A and B are shown apart, each in its own frame.
Chain A
Amino acid sequence: MAEAQSLVLGGADERDLTQLSEYRAIGGYAALEKARGMTREQVIEEISTATLRGRGGAGFPMGRKLSLVQPPEVAGKPTYVVANADESEPGAFKDREIMRRVPHRFIEGCLIAAHAIGSKHVFIYIRGEYGAEYEVLKAAADEVRDADLLGDVTLVLHRGAGAYICGEESALLESLEGDRGQPRPRPPFPPISGLYASPTLINNVQTLTTVPIIIDRGAAWYSKIGPEASPGTVVYSISGNVERPGNYELPLGTTLRELIYDVGGGIAGGRKLKAVIPGGSSVPVFTPDEIDTPADFDSIQAAGSFLGSAAIIAVDDRACMVQLALRVEKFYMHESCGKCTPCREGTRWMVSLLDKIETGRAEHSDLDLLRDVCNRVLGKSLCALGDFAVYPVASYIDKYREEFVAHIDQGGCPYGGESSIEGIVAPVDQHTHSPVAEVPA
């Protein structure tokens, strides 16, 4: 049975940790003081020893990233800390909870990170839709400023305005600089040349919020939680067709089965599990016989998918996989930034093909073509969004091929209007000014 362990969200059930006084009452900002008493190298060493892996999706060790950032005296320019609070991956809602409930721990983590790289500037890029969370953070930041905890660091909250791509770090930086949020080619990576072409540390909200815990309790203690190669806890966002959806903080390596059946209370209405998306909508799907996989970075990857943002979506047997693929692909088409060719054109083409299959106008060759278009996009785009747009669709085809074939053979959706997501409407684009007339190819 999975054991809940509250570190990142620790204390929030008992107290209102949005208040500085309450947070201080449980020892808040002691880690900051401790860190400021340490040298930069010591802080970096501690985080490296803890093997804190980035919670934003890629699982890159934060300690390594910290040590790549050129300190200001070497770079000859200021350095920056940027907190990635743009959480937009479908299925993920953990950063929102963290910011709403433990804003001070998050800010404390940002300030420790700033100390570790000798930075005087922290930017928090928070997705625009998170209005309530912005207000909480802003109040917390004001308290911190009034309490003189910032020292000589400035803290700026920057609100996004609705663009999934701005979660990608280089797109986020472009957006923060006042441009369209389109990714940059990397290298150079942000630690070498990031915001305003200066060395920049970018980390996810949860990664940064974990930092005070490590400084406070010590790397040795922290690294004993969970699997050796990805230690610590993570806030799993569980959603979809489970009885008790929500955010749950547990040690990494909890199995998907435990997460869905124990923590999440099983499939709602006692229905049958059909598919599990283990890391947000962008990752390859698992079938029910793959759910004994421990949900940590390496185990999930070994099983052919990604932990991503630890957003677990359970899909019951009423959902049509073609409809699901179409809905997911419409999202990636809508969010593709338009900079690189394969992602921009590939997502649109994939949507057209999926629509053709769903509406029963497709032939078998269209399915092969769709699968081939997936291959043609995969690994060729400027940033990982192109891959994210392919993983789900390719894996649905590979693992649920018979459903796709049935659409073609029966000339329509075999669910006959009974799929749980029948007719789902994707966003109507609000800002296309250019009338696009369609003519036959």
Chain B
Amino acid sequence: MSLRDEIRAAAAQYPDQRSGVMSGLGLAQEQYGWLPPEALAEVAEALDLTPAHVQAVASFYDMYHLAPVGEHLVEICTNVSCALVGAQQVVEAFERELGLRAGETSEDGKVTLRTIECAGGCGYAPVVVVDHRYREPTRPDDVPGIVGELNGG
């Protein structure tokens, strides 16, 4: 199925196809890896919306990437519960291992490191989310192993 058809099929679940914009953005991001303007325009075209509207929606949510991200995405929760039990040490461990600052992508485009708000794993803190999979809890000692997996995989 073409991306356009997939977007339309997902939107058809709703009484109003406008509601399909988020699922459409999700599908487009899966295909492109992020949401370049062409992807936004494609979602707009599929759903009979304007690209401006689609971009307005996409930019509202943290999980849509409007700039390129690495092949792998490492996200560290630094909200209260994680912070209280050492999230900052985990951030620093990743920064060390990856040679990146939080918010940066490695030069080879392999990894993006970023901090995120509460991921809903406060009882298993600190929470690290690698490629949308939760690693709970992650201690600074676990970091070299995770980075090794990313480099090996």
Contacts and interface: CB of A to CB of B under 8 A. Distances in A.
B93 to A, nearest CB: 13
A421 to B, nearest CB: 5
A129 interface: yes
Contacts of A404: none
B89 to A, nearest CB: 10
B115 A313 contact: no
Interface string B101-136: 011000000000011111111111100010011100
Interface stretch (B1-9, B77-85, B145-153): B77-85
B116 A158 contact: no
Contact of A240 (B13, B22, B85): B85
Given A159-B26, A160-B61, A177 B16 contact: yes
Nearest to B91: A425
B40 interface: no
B118 A425 contact: no
Contacts of A87: 120
Given A180-B57, A238-B123, A319 B84 contact: yes
A424 B83 contact: yes
A89 interface: yes
Nearest to A157: B13
A311 B80 CA distance: 12
Interface in B20-78: 20-23, 25-26, 49, 56-67, 78
A interface secondary structure, majority:
loop
A267 B74 CA distance: 30
Given A425-B88, A430-B62, A96 B120 contact: yes
A245 B83 CA distance: 14
B61 A78 contact: no
A177 to B, nearest CB: 6
Contact of B88 (A163, A180, A424): A424
A162 B63 contact: yes
A88 B62 CA distance: 13
Contacts of A430: 62, 65-67, 103, 114
A423 B92 CA distance: 10
A422 interface: yes
Given A163-B61, A176-B19, A431-B67, A421 B120 contact: no
A175 B22 contact: yes
A427 B23 CA distance: 24
Interface stretch (A29-37, A59-67, A327-335, A341-349): A327-335
A178 B85 contact: no
Nearest to A178: B18
Interface string A64-107: 00000000000000100000000111111101100000000000
Nearest to B16: A196
A220 B58 CA distance: 47
Nearest to A245: B123
A86 B117 CA distance: 14
A237 B123 contact: yes
B56 A426 contact: no
A162 B123 contact: no
Contacts of B56: 180
A334 B117 contact: yes
A181 B56 CA distance: 11
Interface size class of B (residues with CB under 8 A): 35 or more
B39 to A, nearest CB: 14
A241 B84 contact: yes
B122 to A, nearest CB: 4
A425 B78 contact: yes
Contact of B79 (A246, A281, A319, A422): A281
A18 B87 CA distance: 32
Contacts of B102: 425, 428
A210 interface: no
A9 interface: no
Interface string A123-163: 00001111110000000000000000000001010111111
B85 A241 contact: yes
A92 B124 CA distance: 11
Contact of B115 (A88, A128, A131, A425): A425
A160 B123 CA distance: 22
A52 interface: no
Contacts of B129: 129
Contacts of B60: 163, 180-181, 337
A88 B118 contact: yes
A427 B62 contact: yes
A239 B88 contact: no
Given A425-B102, A431-B59, A331 B123 contact: no
A23 interface: no
Contacts of A240: 80-81, 84-85, 122
Contacts of A13: none
Given A176-B19, A313-B81, A161 B61 contact: yes
Contact of A178 (B21, B81, B86, B124): B21
B120 A433 contact: no
6 contacts: A121-B15, A161-B63, A239-B122, A240-B85, A420-B86, A431-B65
Given A93-B121, A240-B81, 13 more contacts: A90-B117, A178-B16, A238-B123, A239-B84, A240-B84, A246-B123, A313-B84, A313-B122, A335-B117, A421-B88, A422-B88, A430-B65, A431-B62
- The 8 tightest CB contacts between A and B, nearest first, are A162-B62, A428-B103, A161-B61, A239-B122, A178-B18, A162-B63, A239-B81, A90-B118
